[in-house]
């Protein structure tokens, strides 16, 4: 397969560059290189090849995804929690970030991928699980556009990604779909993260019943304020990530509780599902310690119980 950087560009919007060309990385290269968490990422940059689309895409993972979905259903049933599981799957926008040497534009590639991903998404939902579409591209691609585009130029990219998501979930009940948005799981200053306020209204054009987003790290913890001036769309739930994924510090229960309560007071406790920011173990190297992660999760469980008491 050709190197992504050697694939002819076929884009009708600001292009998404490589990790090494991110604006935040360019501004704080020493900080990135000195953090062992980034070792796996930086090593991957030396890889000579990456996938590229060279012909019409086709989904072939039906058997694998059904086996995973049925395995989770069996595990949940044995735990007395059948029907309460979710399975994550990549968004069309994230998948279209590979090289494109076939379709006329990145958006055309995204729409083709969306039509095929619908098969995976349906397989997850048909077994009884909620589908979580992992779409960090909605937010973190901003930093990966170098030079920096205007917000309106970036919103064109986001609208295309949302259109692709809506195509990918065609025929699926919106209440069975949630979308995960983030600014990337790597350790770095994140000074070039786009504010949630600039993109949230466009993201909410996706036909999903719930939206998960970062709400604990120092760069985005303040953004609960944007819900002061917004009316949550009917039937939509927020899933704020009230525990950070990129530190071994275990949050104090009161810190987590206060975050949950803020969201509950703004949009109603019935519309809030507290969660960790992301999963631990989503990178090849440099993960937060597992025992620290377990400590954070235990605090979330305690604080959710407290929020329910508050709501009553």
**88-131: pLDDT as tens digits:** 999 999 999 888 889 999 999 999 999 999 999 999 999 999 99
Q: What angle do CA 117, 119, 124 make, to 5 degrees?
A: 100
The domains located in the chain, with CATH, are 4-311 (3.20.20.210)
**178-205: pLDDT as tens digits:** 999 999 878 889 999 999 999 999 999 9
What is the model's pLDDT at position 277? 64
16-25, 149-158, 219-228, 266-275: the lowest-pLDDT one: 16-25
What is the model's pLDDT at position 83? 92
Sheet holding 86-90, edge to edge: 86-90, 130-134, 177-180, 210-214, 237-243, 275-276
User: Is 13's pLDDT higher than 70?
Assistant: no
User: Is 66's pLDDT higher than 90?
Assistant: yes
Pairing of strands 130-134, 177-180: parallel
Q: Looking up tokens 């790597």, which residue turns up?
A: 186
Q: Would you give the distance in Å from CA 299 to the centre of its chain?
A: 23
Cα distance between residue 264 and residue 233, in whole Å: 15
| Three-class HEC string of the chain | CCCHHHCCCCCCCCCCCCHHHCHHHHHCHHHHHCCHHHHHHHHHCCCCCCCEECCCCCCCCHHHHHHHHHHHHHHHHHCCCCCCCEEEEECHHHHCCCEECCCCCHHHHHHHHHHHHHHHHHHHHHCCCEEEEECCHHHHCCCCCCCCCCHHHHHHHHHHHHHHHHHHCCCCCHHHEEEECCCCCCCCCCCCCCCHHHHHHHHCCCCCCEEEEECCCCCCHHHHHHHHHCCCCCCCEEEEEEECCCCCCCCCHHHHHHHHHHHHHHHCHHHECCEECCCCCCCCCCCCCHHHHHHHHHHHHHHHHHHHHHHC
What is the model's pLDDT at position 6? 45
**207-244: pLDDT as tens digits:** 999 999 999 988 999 999 999 999 999 999 999 999 98
**260-311: pLDDT as tens digits:** 999 999 999 999 999 986 554 454 444 445 554 455 555 555 555 554 433 3
Task: Tell me the CA distances in angstroms from 135 to 149, 170, 239, one per residue in order.
Answer: 20, 17, 14
Backbone angles phi, psi at 133, to 5 degrees: -90, 115
- How many other CB atoms are found less than 10 A from the CB of residue 136? 19
């Amino acid at each position: 397969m050709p190197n992504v950087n050697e694939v002819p560009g076929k884009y009708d919007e600001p292009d998404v560059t490589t990790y090494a060309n991110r604006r935040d990385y360019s501004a704080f290269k020493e900080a990135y290189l000195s953090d062992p968490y980034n070792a796996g990422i930086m090593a991957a940059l030396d890889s000579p090849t990456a996938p590229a689309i060279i012909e019409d895409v086709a989904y072939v993972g039906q058997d694998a995804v059904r086996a995973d979905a049925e395995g989770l259903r069996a595990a949940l049933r044995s735990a007395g929690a059948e029907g309460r599981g979710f399975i994550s799957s990549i968004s069309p926008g994230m998948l279209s970030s590979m090289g494109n040497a076939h379709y006329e534009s990145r958006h055309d590639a995204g729409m083709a991928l969306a039509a095929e991903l619908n098969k995976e998404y349906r397989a997850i939902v048909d077994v009884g699980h909620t589908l979580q579409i992992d779409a960090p591209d909605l937010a973190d691609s901003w930093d990966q556009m170098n030079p920096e585009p205007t917000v309106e130029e970036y919103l064109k990219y986001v609208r295309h990604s949302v259109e692709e998501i809506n195509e990918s979930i065609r025929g699926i009940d919106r209440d069975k779909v949630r979308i995960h948005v983030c600014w990337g799981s790597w350790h770095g200053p994140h000074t070039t993260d786009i504010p949630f306020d600039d993109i949230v209204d466009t993201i909410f054009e996706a036909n999903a019943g719930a939206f998960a987003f970062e709400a604990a790290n120092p760069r985005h913890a303040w953004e609960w304020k944007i819900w002061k001036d917004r009316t949550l769309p009917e039937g939509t739930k927020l899933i704020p990530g009230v525990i950070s994924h990129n530190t071994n510090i275990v949050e104090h229960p009161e810190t987590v509780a206060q975050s949950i309560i803020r969201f509950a007071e703004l949009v109603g406790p019935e519309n809030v599902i507290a969660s960790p920011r992301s999963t631990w173990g989503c990178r090849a190297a440099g993960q937060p310690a597992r025992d620290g992660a377990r400590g954070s999760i235990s605090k979330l469980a305690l604080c959710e119980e407290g929020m329910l008491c508050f709501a009553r």
